[in-house]
Structures are given as structure tokens and as C-alpha cells.
Structure 1
Amino acid sequence: MASDTLNYQYKTASSLKKENGKESLLLSKFSEVEKGSSPCFFWGTLNQPYELSRCLITLSNIVQSSFNLSPFQLALLKDPIVTAGNEQIRFEGFSHCAGVYARVDVLDSGQDGEFIENGTTNVDFNTPLISELGKIQKNDNLVLSVGQKEVGFHKDGKSTIERKVPLPAKWIKGLTTVQHFFSESEYGLTLNRIQAIQLFKTIPNGKVKTDYFLLKRGNRYSFSPLKSKDAICIGGIHRLRLLNHLIPLINELKIYPHKDLQSVSLIMCFDHVNFTFSVSRDFWRGFSGEGAALEELIEDLPDSLIQAFDNYSYANQEFNPALIALEENIDLSKIEKLSTKLSAMGLLGYDLEKNGFFYRRLPFKLSRILSLNPRLKGAEKLLLEDKVNITSNKENQIEAKVEGSGVHHYVVIKDSMEKCTCTWYSKNQGERGVCKHILAVKKKAKSN
């Protein structure tokens, strides 16, 4: 049908320009971006069905797991997000408590099909589907379909269809933090299959409340409660047992620690599939409450510029901020702030191996940024009500008094040190993002 067809024109090079204080983004992919409305995003054969099915079963186990929530809270959360775009299929989700993130990437070599349109949906992986996935053997022929309202697995003339379900807001908050932590993570080491199997045998039994560390002795790796220099720290290590059934099937295991040890990510590599698994610093901390990107969200950017960057992201499907900044001669911090804005709406994910973002096609709602970040919303309210008084701003040091409910909070910002007298800061000491008072002071200082 003509309405399902996009006509692409390539007339000029991509550029982000600033003239007379106004910014505009010009795309090389399209002269005009139109997001189509095809009911089907992808249809094709999967080239590694056995390994993929085991990855999807593990992903389902993860999204049904919880490490700190009550049974009532468990009932409020749903199942995997599925994205088709740039010759790849991605299935991703969180544990119920949002402290574990997992993503199954079907690489371009892992499928033989047609990408009709780029798109994202959120579906329910229920018991009948998991049962059918468990029956798949290495030589089976498995066809996947991904559409706006459903995802289907087709084998031997039989189809298992999973319908679209609501995407939990808590997951969008978690996605913001995960991609931020990924972008701040660095490659650590690679283990072969035998080394990975040996390593996982050293995971202690039961729920582990203390930190464990990944150590190397000779050619063997192990987890130990004893800290050593340059060891990779993993909190809530018992969560790694979710991967026990996958480890014997992998080719290799890659490990990426966060620069400040706020998370650890593992990539299990198969021939045509990658399985990314990331855990928060502690098992009782969910990614959705970390507030890692709050400071990058305080700077106001024109709505039209954010919309233009969304179009650019949709058109390209994946990109590297540093590369865009270099090629287009744009300040990297500007690209990073735009990326953070889109990430806060759930529109961007991060691929550790490619060191760049990929796009999720979700509704473009700027209001989602404030609604999903109560500390940011609180900071805006403090500024709107003129409750922030900067008493000193000189020599890289800011001092301020912020009016609270019957009390005044005092904020001091000096170089990289930030302090506030509020309860949030006293409890978290800046480990889970800054409080609303520090956010408000920083934003006001920027505007002065």
C-alpha cells in the first residue's frame, strides 16, 4: 500500500547549525522525516533459534524475578520491550524490582527477513509462549514477526502470538539510568566458555548481602568476598544465578564495570545473538531510582531542537555522540544533553559493544521527562516559587539557601563537591543522584 511506503531523498549532508541564537538540525537521511504506520515492523527466519529461545526464556525469568518487592508490587509490572530497527531485533526488560536489566540482541547475521518499518512494542511473554520456546531444537525453522500490536513466533505451521501490553513507567525511568551507566562503563575483560563456567561455579549460595569481587588467579577467575586491587566489584551477586542455564552455551563472556562501580554489565556472546545483563550496585537498589542523568536534564533546550534530534535518531537508528560531534563540528556536550533528553523519554538505548545509541520508537512526549523524574519536577517547582536564594557565587564555589516546608536547606557546591542539609542528601550522600535542592541551585546559577 502506498500509505505504508516511505520515499527517502538524500540531497545534503547532516548538520546541526546555530545562527542568531537559534539551532536547527538538518538530516542527510531524509529531506523530510515521516514515521510510517505499518502494522508490521519485521518478518523473517531466525538463524540461531535454539540459543535465541534459551535467551528469551532467561529474559522471561528475569522480568518475573524480584529481589526487593512485595507480591502486590509484582502484579503491577509487565513484560519485554521488542524493537526492530537497523537490521537488528532487540528484546529487553527489567526484573520486577528494576535492579536487573537484560537485553537479547538478534544481530544482523541472526535473521533472514525484511524490516518493513522501524518500530517498538511491549508484549506479554506468558506461560504458553515459554513452553513453546522450550521445545525448540537446534535445527528447527523458527519465524519471527514483530508488529505494532503483537509479536509472533511461527513454527511448523503453528503460531504463538503475544499481544501488546502497557509499558510500565518504572521501566522508562530504569532505561534512562541504564543507558547512562552503560555510556560510563568501560570494557574490563573477556572470558572463554570454560573460564565463564568455572567462574559461575564460585557464586555463593543464598541471598548475599555483602559485596563480592571478580579475581584472577593464574588462568582461572573466581568470585571472592575479599577485595583486591583492580578487582571488579559486584553487589547482590546472587542475581547472576539467573544466567546459569545460558553460560554453558556461550562462545565468550565480556564484562564491563561502571567507572564508579554503580553497576556491572555482562555480555554473553553467541554466533548470532548477544545477551546483555546488567545489575545495579546493590540488590535492593533499582535502576529506576538512581537519578543518574538528572544533572544533564536541568539545562533547557528548545522543544523544536529536541524534536529534530528525535527525527535524526529515528532516521539513523543508531549513532555515536562523539562521532556526530566530530563529523558535524558540534560541541559534544550539546549532543550529550540532547541524547539525555531523548533517553529520559525512553527513546534511546545504549549498545556497549558498538559504543553508541540505538533508537526505540515510543511516543514523543516531552512531559514524560518531568513526570518520571520527581526530583527534577521538585527543582522546577522551587524555582517557579522563587524559593532558591544564591547567597554567594565566586571562585568555583556556590552557596545557597533553599526554602523548604517550615525549614531552610543550605547548599554548598565547590568544584566536584556538592552538599545539602536535606534528608535525601544525608541518606544517600550523592550516590543516587543529587537532591532537588542542589538541582535547583545549579539551574539557577546557570541562568544568572
Structure 2
Amino acid sequence: MSTETLSYKYNALSSITKKQGKENLLLSKFNEVNKGSSPCFFWGKLNNPYELSRCLITLSNIVQSCFNLSPFQLALLKDPIVTAGNNQIRFEGFSHCAGVYARVDVLENGQDGDFIENGTTNVDFNTPLISELGKIKKNDNLILSVGQKEVGFHKEGSSFIERKVPLPSKWIKGLTTVQHYFSESDYAQTLNRIQALQLFKTIPAGKVKTDYYLIKRGNKYLFSPLKASNAICIGGIHRLKLLQPLIPLINELKVYPHKDMQSVTFILCFNELNFVFSVSRDFWRGFSGEGAALESLIEDLPDSLVQAFDNYSYTNQEFNPALLSFEEGIDITKIEKLSTKLSAMGLLGYDLSKNGFFYRRLPFKLERILSLNPRQKGAEKLLEENKVKITLQNDNEIEAQVEGSGVTHYVVLKGDLQKCTCTWFSKNQGERGACKHILAVKKKVKAN
């Protein structure tokens, strides 16, 4: 198995069965993290089955899409992640190239069921399941079960098999990085259904390599190759075509650009159901390679603090630093700035509509998530091999030399300004996160 993929197995196929006139959607689950003994997180009725089924089909199309990889790599199937708890259900996933992120949020009044156990898991989205979802009609009743309803649940004629699924490590990294971009994005505008339909008709045909801009003329919105004041920049605009089947069904469309235009997020609003869709700055550059949250991982956290937070991080509720501080007896000053780091560790998601983090425990072990970023590992290796030398340090400025392969890199940290002479920094100028040399220098300074 390649070190760039994680393989996992399902014990049963996800399926839709019909019983007493009701459709039952059972999603087979996988989880590396053992939290509780129940094999099922949620069982209940979905109040908007037609819209939800179309959102899940679009999500499946997204996680099977790729905008910068070969047809062979594209053929690998990916499976979304589902979080159930606090009266909400969230499905989320990435395109294969990790440049498109999508999440389906079933809100509190969008379901009527029992949350047997709070948790997060991978779910099996197989071809027969997608085909059956396409047959759901507006008046159908749809019952959702995340996992099996009970231990040893079997249905006559059901097929229980093992299916290996490859998941690229960059997909997991992207799930942590995108939360950071969400937290730095702001609401820009709301379009009604007619405006959204008009807007999506202006998406150019084919694959577009130049930037496009979302602009407003009168009461109409359009995508234009010409930049205007207050325009929202969108790279790889052809990726938005994935949303076209959903636009006729929405109530409204909300737009959230990143503060530096490093991503753009669209929220498609239905009745008690939201579809979140975010694209990276360029179609060839996925969220997994950004490293925007790397610096938040520099400062080591006490194991007791991480464990205390992990005890809360699978309930889908809003992140409340004051409550965590009170219940765990931890100094509030040590918690208030943890959100970025904890989201980078897979313990928090971000809800743009509520402008805040929520507990979301990815179904992978913490050590797996933390070991995935090569720049973070590279910085730690530089420190282990004693290749970082601080040459100047005062209250406002730090200079250092970092030994590389046959070359010495020079790092300067002055206030909010940081520079390095390495190729990575010269190419990206900090837009995709710090290089391993800057990370190593910062970590050494914090350790001293």
C-alpha cells in the first residue's frame, strides 16, 4: 500500500431497502476511533428526502471528481464522512484532487429521529446506492440509519461483504485545512433562486485557465473575466458546474469569499438543509497543500488538554471555550486561542452560517492526522538533527540559519513579517503557509 493512501474496510454495503412503503437508507460505517459501543449513530425520518437525495448525489459526484489528476487516479472511489449529534447530521467530502470541498448539513428540523450515539464516521457511497437515491421522489418517506440499527442486524437477502477503499492522505489534510479558511471567510451576498439561475448560466464552457470574477450589474449577478471593484475572484470556475443540478431546487444562495481570496464558499440553502461548497484558489492546487494552519501546530499542547478536548469533540455542538474551561478547570487564556490548532488536528469543524467552530472528531487517530504534513515533519527533523541556529533574537526580531542539502537558508522573523531564502518561500511568498525552515525556527524559539 502506498504511504500516500489509507485503506479501510466496510463490513457491509450501504443500501436502500423498502419496507411498509418506506425507503430505508442504511449507511455502512468505518471508524478508527472507538467512542462508545453502539454500531449506529442515528436512526430516523428525513423531512426533505428529495432535496437531500439530490444533495447526496452531488456530494458523491464531487468526491469522485478530479481536476488535476490522471484518469487512472480518478477511477479510485472516495467515500464521504458523516457526523451525527446535537440534533444535526453533516455529510462532508473532497474531490479526489482536494480542491473542492462539500458538506451537506441536515439541520435540527430537517430530521425526526434518535441520535443513538454522537460521533463521526466514514460511510460507504457505492454505485447501487447512488442509483437508488436518484429514484427518491418528493412524496417518498426516507428513513436514515448511520451504521446498522443494532448489533447483529440482518435483513433477508442483504449482502454483507468486505470492501477495501483507498483514501489519499491529502484528503484528510484538506479536511483540517479547509476549516481554517472558513474561519477567515466573511459573508458577501445573498442571491435568490432566479438570480442564482441567471448567474450559473454565465459559467463559461470548457476548462478555463484564467480567473473569473463574481460581479453585480443592476439586480443581476454574473461571472466575468474582467475584474471590477468589490468583485469576488474565483479560480477554476469550471468546477462550479458540479452545482448546476441543485440550483433550480434552492431557496437562496449565499457567498463567502476568503479574506485574501484563497478560496470561495457557496452555501445553497434549502428547507432545513444546507449544501456547503468551497473551491480552492486554483483548480490545480488543493486545500491539502496549503498548509495554512501549520503554524498553529508549532506550540505543543499538554496531553491532558488535548485529551480533555477530545472528550467533547464528537458531539457536533458549538465550540464553547468558557464552558470547556469551567468544566475541565483549565485556565481560559490557554483555551481561547486553541480553535485554529484544534481544527488542524481534526477536532473542530467550522459553520459559516453560524460564524463559529463546532465539535467534529474526524474518524482517524490523532497521530495519523498530525503525521500527514511533510512540512511539519520536515521542521521536526531539522530540529532533531540540530540544523537550526539562532543568530539574533530580541523582542521584535529573530534571525536564524537553517542547514539544508548543500546550502544554508536564512530566516528572518520581524513582527508579522517572515522571510526565508528557500525555493518554497520564493515561489509562494507565504500564501500557502510557512516553509519548514520558518516552522523549525519558530518552534525552536518557543522551546527556549
TM-score normalised over the length of structure 2 = 0.85
* Aligned residue pair count: 407
Question: What does 1:11-410 align with in structure 2 at a 5 Å threshold?
Answer: 35-76=35-76, 78-147=78-147, 165=165, 167-314=167-314, 317-320=316-319, 334-337=335-338, 339-362=339-362, 365-410=365-410
Contact 1:253 1:266 in 2 (8 A): yes
Q: Identity percentage over the alignment?
A: 78
User: 8 Å contact 2:174–2:288 — kept in the other structure?
Assistant: yes
Q: For residue 86 of structure 1, what is the amino acid of its counterpart?
A: N
What is the letter of the counterpart of residue 202 of structure 2?
T
Q: Give the conservation status (yes or no) of the 8 Å contact 1:82–1:92.
A: yes
SS of corresponding position for 1:308: helix
Counterpart Cα distance in 1 of 2:305 and 2:325: 19
| Alpha-carbon contact 1:68-1:284 (below 8 Å) kept | yes
Gaps of 5+ in 1: 1-33, 151-156
2:12 alignment counterpart = none
Amino acid at match of 2:235: G
1:411-426 equivalences in 2 (<5 Å): 411-426=411-426
| Distance verdict in 2 for CA 1:303–1:327, change over 3 Å | closer
Structure 2 CA distance for aligned equivalents of residues 238 and 104 of structure 1: 21
Letter in 2 for 1:170: K
Letter in 2 for 1:302: P
Determine the C-alpha separation between the residues in 2 that align with 1:288 and 1:228: 30
Q: Tell me, in whole angstroms, the C-alpha distance in 1 between the residues paired with 2:325 and 2:116.
A: 32
User: What do you get for the CA RMSD once the two structures are aligned?
Assistant: 2.6
Q: 1:416 to 1:81 in 2, by over 3 A?
A: same
CA distance in 1, matches of 2:120, 2:369: 19
Q: Distance in 2 between matches of 1:373 and 1:203?
A: 35
Aligned AA for 2:78? K
Q: Is the 8 A contact 1:39 1:148 kept in 2?
A: yes
Structure 1's 179 and 158: CA in aligned 2 closer, same or farther, altered over 3 A? farther
Post-superposition offset of 1:436: 0.3
Amino acid at match of 2:82: V
1:231 deviates by: 1.0
User: Deviations for 1:285-342, whole angstroms, at most 9, x for unmatched residues?
Assistant: 111111010001000111111111111333x5322457669989955674333x3443
Amino acid at match of 1:335: E
Q: What residue in structure 2 maps to residue 435 of structure 1?
A: 435
Residue aligned with 2:312, SS: helix
Runs of at least 4 residues off by over 6 Å: 157-164, 325-329
- Cα separation, 2, equivalents of 1:191 and 1:161: 45
Q: Comparing 39-48 with 424-433, which one deviates more in the overlay?
A: 424-433
SS of the residue corresponding to residue 409 of structure 2 reads strand
Q: Which residue of 1 aligns with 2:21?
A: none
> What secondary structure, in the 3-state scheme, does the structure 2 residue paired with 1:174 have?
helix
Bigger RCO (CA 8 Å, 6+ sep): 2
How far the C-alpha of 1:148 sits from its partner, in A, is: 7.0
- SS class of match (2:337): helix
CA offset digits 1:370-422 (Å, max 9, x no partner): 41111111111111221111111235221110011121101111222211111
